[in-house]
Amino acid sequence: MRILLAMLLLLPPLLAAEPARARSGCAEAGESLHVMTLNLQFTRVWGQGRELRILAEYMAERKVDVLLLQEVSGGLLTGSASTAEELRRLLRERFDLAYELVYAPASGVRGLFTVGNAVLSRCPVVTRGIEALPEVAELRLAGGKWRLRRNVLGVEIATHRGPVAVYTTHLCADCSAEQRGVQLAEALEFIATREEGRDRPVVFGGDFNLDLFRSAGERRLYRRIRDAGFIDLAAVHRPAETLCAEPSRPDSDCTVGVADPVRPHSRRIDYLFASGPIAVTEQGVVFNPRVDGSTRAVSNHAAVAARLRLGTAGERMAHAATELPGP
């Protein structure tokens, strides 16, 4: 089965995007926009549903407006159109919440098996765009490494303070910092092209597979994102070098190595970045049972969440001064 799924990942998807089907108002006037990003771990939720129910309950209770998802899977082998569609159904049937869904498969075969990125939004989706990222040999199979397809998904949503641009991506995992940098450069160029001449809030999140403490190359990628005008929402009031700094001693900012109690190391590789007239009023990591025993894992990743105050043109978010470790 694993070999079959791996082979399917190598095939180009036939589905470009799943159309939005419902509209609902999101954060009311004067309220913050609640945004969250999560890697669903496509092998975890098949045929179970418990994780999706926990996630749906959290979203309903905390009034999550926009959810960025990575490793969304779909097709006959998963038992549903997609895990994002299944989550959307749970939110509608159990909590009477209507979300629009945009699903951008990156790899697989339509109807049989796909994996990609998605956005669930209570705010109306106005436009959408998908950009394929350069392929990198990262999938280990039959003694070799095979190229895996990835993408970046961008949507414009309508809010009480005007349009907001939301982008999500999942960069290569088993690859070098240089290869990851090629994909990041393409994603940033895609965003820059879509945002050229505009002054609106922009959110850029996902699983970047980027660890500040892994190498100097990783830190250069982080600086590249900041140089593009983005601010790490976790590092607005705290220096980035203090967040999940000791892998053997996970803290509340780590996003992987937190769901498995026997995993020896924890890392921060999932991020929410923002730019433009926007400010963060609250930020944190959700579903981190190694730190918070009262919560349960919904993936092998924890989620990163933030409440954002949407501003007007000219307003900018300040951030903490930071000196990243090493060169």
Q: Which domain holds residue 47?
A: 2-310
Task: Answer whether residue 317 is part of any domain.
Answer: no
Output the domain CATH number for residue 137: 3.60.10.10
Average pLDDT, the chain: 85
Task: Answer whether residue 319 is part of any domain.
Answer: no
- In whole angstroms, give the CA distance from residue 228 to residue 301: 26
pLDDT of 1 reads 44
Beta bridge partners of 203: 166, 274
Instruction: Report which secondary-structure segment, H or E, holds 85.
Output: helix 83-95
- Which of 82-118 are b and which e, b meaning 16 or more Cβ less than 10 Å from the residue's Cβ? bbbbbbbbbbeeeeebebbbbbbbbbbbeeebbbbbb
Residue 52 has pLDDT above 60, yes or no: yes
Task: Answer whether residue 10 is part of any domain.
Answer: yes
Exposed, middle or buried, 320 (CB in 10 Å: 0-12/13-18/19+)?
Answer: middle
12-21, 129-138, 255-264: least confidently modelled range: 12-21
- In whole angstroms, give the CA distance from residue 30 to residue 188: 30
Residues with Cβ within 8 Å of 8's Cβ and at least 6 positions away in sequence, in order, are 77, 107, 108, 109, 112, 113
Task: Answer whether residue 107 is part of any domain.
Answer: yes
Task: Answer whether residue 232 is part of any domain.
Answer: yes
Spatial CA neighbour of 145 closest among 174, 108, 170 = 174
pLDDT tens, residue by residue, 172-188: 999 999 999 999 999 99
pLDDT of 98 reads 95
- In whole angstroms, give the CA distance from residue 92 to residue 149: 31
Task: Answer whether residue 238 is part of any domain.
Answer: yes
On whether the pTM is more than 0.85, the answer is yes
Residue 254 has pLDDT above 90, yes or no: yes
Exposed, middle or buried, 76 (CB in 10 Å: 0-12/13-18/19+)?
Answer: exposed
Residue 327 has pLDDT above 60, yes or no: no
Through-space distance between the first and last CA atoms of the chain, rounded to whole angstroms? 43
pLDDT of 158 reads 94
Residue 17 has pLDDT above 90, yes or no: no
Task: Answer whether residue 123 is part of any domain.
Answer: yes
Q: What is the DSSP code string of 124-137? A: PEEEEEEEEPPPEE
Q: Number of structural domains, the chain?
A: 1
Task: Answer whether residue 326 is part of any domain.
Answer: no
Residues 218-226: what's their mean pLDDT?
96
pLDDT tens, residue by residue, 85-128: 999 999 999 999 999 999 999 876 677 778 899 999 999 999 99
Orientation angle between helical segments 50-62 and 83-95, nearest 10 degrees: 50
pLDDT of 131 reads 97
pLDDT tens, residue by residue, 232-250: 999 998 999 999 999 888 8
Beta bridge partners of 286: 303
